[in-house]
Amino acid sequence: MKRLLAECLGTFMVVSVICGIGAMTPSGAPPWAVAVGSGFAIFSMMSALGHISGGHFNPALTIGLATSGRHPITSVPGYVFAQILGAVAAGFTWFVIASARGGASPADLGVFGANGFDVASPGHIAVGAVALAEVLATALLVIVFAGATSRHAASIMAPIAVGSAFAALMLLLLPIDGGGLNPARSTASALLGGQLAVAQLWLFWAAPIVGAIVGGLIARIVTPVD
Helix (H) or strand (E) holding 191: helix 183-191
Angle in degrees, CA 47, 38, 136, rounded to 5: 100
Per-residue confidence (pLDDT) for residue 25, from 0 to 100: 67
Q: Cβ of 154: how many Cβ atoms within 10 Å?
A: 10
- 99 vs 143 pLDDT, higher one: 143
Q: Where are the alpha helices (DSSP H) in 59-157?
A: 59-68, 76-99, 106-109, 127-148
Q: How far is CA 128 from the centre of its chain?
A: 20
Helix (H) or strand (E) holding 172: helix 158-177
Q: How confident is the model at residue 26 (pLDDT cuts 50, 70, 90)?
A: low
For residue 42, give the amino acid letter: I
The SS3 call for residue 223 is: coil
Averaged confidence pLDDT in the chain = 89
Q: Cβ of 104: how many Cβ atoms within 10 Å?
A: 14
Per-residue confidence (pLDDT) for residue 28, from 0 to 100: 64
**At residue 13, does pLDDT exceed 60?**
yes
Per-residue confidence (pLDDT) for residue 195, from 0 to 100: 87
Is the CB of residue 115 less than 8 Å from the CB of residue 134? no
Packing angle, helices 158-177 and 127-148, rounded to 10: 180
pLDDT in tens, 135-186: 999 999 999 999 998 887 777 889 999 999 999 999 999 999 989 999 999 9
Per-residue confidence (pLDDT) for residue 1, from 0 to 100: 87
Q: Which residues contact 54 (CB under 8 A, 6 or more apart)?
A: 3, 65, 71, 149
- Between the ranges 30-34, 169-173, 219-223, where is the mean pLDDT highest? 169-173
Mean pLDDT of 195-207: 94
Across 18-27, 96-105, 127-136, 213-222, least confident range: 96-105
Q: How confident is the model at residue 106 (pLDDT cuts 50, 70, 90)?
A: very low
Q: Cβ of 123: how many Cβ atoms within 10 Å?
A: 12
